Structure 1
Amino acid sequence: MRLPNRPKPGELLLARPGMEADYWDQAVILVLDCDDDGALGVLLNREAEIELGQVLPLWSSLVSPPQALFEGGPVSPQGAICLAQLLDPKEEPPGWRRVHGELGLLHLDTPVPLVEGAYGALRIFAGYAGWDSGQLEAELLRGDWLRVPSRDEDIFGTELEGLWQRILRRQGGTLGLLSTWTDEPELN
């Protein structure tokens, strides 16, 4: 059953300003899947503390700048998810599964020689953000997350600092005003 407020793969979830949980402060999450069983996505604007070369040395030179490992979320932080944007939209290389448009998930067991030259952008995440069945929809109804469309530069851009603000600002209107939010209520 498709719920009317269920996010679609490729959409962004932005943490509501002032959200109580510090972990999610100004979080920008790309939705990868959302169905009756639950939802999952990856946090786009936080680099992991560990170097990519320490865990996946063969992939270090293949990923898009800033050539780092990203913290995808608190679930399964020892696991890795690779997002890959096709170079040629007419092809579907081995080990790749479409998420939205030319964006997909690339299996990290794919031989590196097959990966080289097949993708316009790659990013690897340690862990992911996950929700049980109906949990994300309930959080959306409560107003914890703001849903907005994604752009390639949100997913593969080099400027992580201020990503939350830039995405809100381009929405205009009330959402654009939220981009000026501060943690000091008297300044809002």
Structure 2
Amino acid sequence: MAEGIYVGRLLVATPLLEDPNFRRSVVLVLEHDEGGGSLGVVLNRPSEISVTQVLPSWDALVTGPSVLFEGGPVQTDSALALAAVQSGGEPLGWRRLQSGRSAAYRLGTVDLDAPPEILAGEISQMRIFAGYAGWTAGQLRGEVEEGAWYVVDSEPEDTFHSDPTTLWRSVLRRQQGELSFVATYPDDPELN
């Protein structure tokens, strides 16, 4: 399963992963290099901080909820934005990450130092993340082999899921075979 780690796939925390930074998290892989490490953002951790408080000029382009998301425990004082564009080109201030299942759907990172006006007509969906998740060379592969993460395909709607708090269950529920049953794993198995 670890050999399937690549940009655009999801890391879904297994019920065995109790680290509070990643418990029941869904991480979108943004960079992966066996020799250089991996980087991703947690998609299902909305914070209480509104985008208006931190990056007011970008608020109008953000897809609800209009809050910063906790992207991970690394560099939480920095922001990273993901956006989908509908055009066939690559607008200024946006860098392609992956092609979605539809040729019209495109996901990439946004340069938050660029003026929002240059992207306003190009962006169809956008989220801003404070911090990111990072792994050193071989660390993520080791965690997958230890059973901390499921590595699964992403769907275009995962990054901008309308209710991020249900994303963990939604992603697991759509998997084939026994993995779909993990979605019913109780939050606290001792209360079962």
Over residues 63-113 of structure 1, what are the superposed CA-to-partner deviations in whole Å (9 max), with x where a residue is unaligned?
Answer: 11112111100000010101011121x210112111111111111011111
Secondary structure of the 1:97 match is strand
- 1:6–1:137 contact (8 Å) kept in structure 2: no
- What residue in structure 1 maps to residue 77 of structure 2? 78
Q: C-alpha separation between the residues in 2 aligned to 1:33 and 1:117?
A: 27
Tell me how many residue pairs correspond in the alignment.
184
Q: Which residue of 1 aligns with 2:113?
A: 109
* Counterpart for residue 33 of structure 1: 31
Q: Where in structure 2 are the equivalents of 1:1-150 lying within 5 Å?
A: 5=3, 7-35=5-33, 36-88=35-87, 90-101=88-99, 102-150=106-154
Contact 2:16 2:147 in 1 (8 A): no
1:172 Cα deviation after fit: 3.1
Runs of at least 4 residues of structure 1 off by over 3 A? none
Question: What CA RMSD, in Å, does the superposition of the two structures yield over aligned residues?
Answer: 1.6
TM-score (norm 1): 0.93
For 1:6 and 1:164, the matched residues in 2 are separated by: 19
Percent of aligned pairs with the same amino acid: 44
What letter corresponds to residue 117 of structure 2 in structure 1? P
Superposed CA offset, 1:157-176 (max 9, x none): 21112210111011031111
- Equivalent AA in structure 2 for residue 44 of structure 1: L
Structure 2 CA distance for partners of 1:18 and 1:143, relative to 1, 3 Å: closer
* Counterpart secondary structure, 1:179: helix
Q: Give the alignment's TM-score, normalised by structure 2.
A: 0.91
Residue of structure 2 equivalent to 1:151: 155
Distance 1:71 1:23 in 2: 9
2:39, 2:126 → 1: CA distance? 19
- Greater mean deviation of Cα atoms: 139-148 or 20-29: 20-29
- 8 Å CA contact 1:6–1:34 kept in 2: the answer is no
8 Å CA contact 1:5–1:140 kept in 2: the answer is no
Matched residue of 2:112: which SS?
A: coil
Contact 2:4 2:151 in 1 (8 A): no
Shift of 1:20: 2.5
Which letter maps to 1:97? R
Counterpart in the other structure of 1:168: 172
Q: What are the ranges of 5 or more consecutive residues in structure 2 without an aligned counterpart?
A: 100-105
In 1, the alpha carbon distance for the partners of 2:21 and 2:113 equals 30
Whole-angstrom CA distance in 2 between matches of 1:138 and 1:84: 30
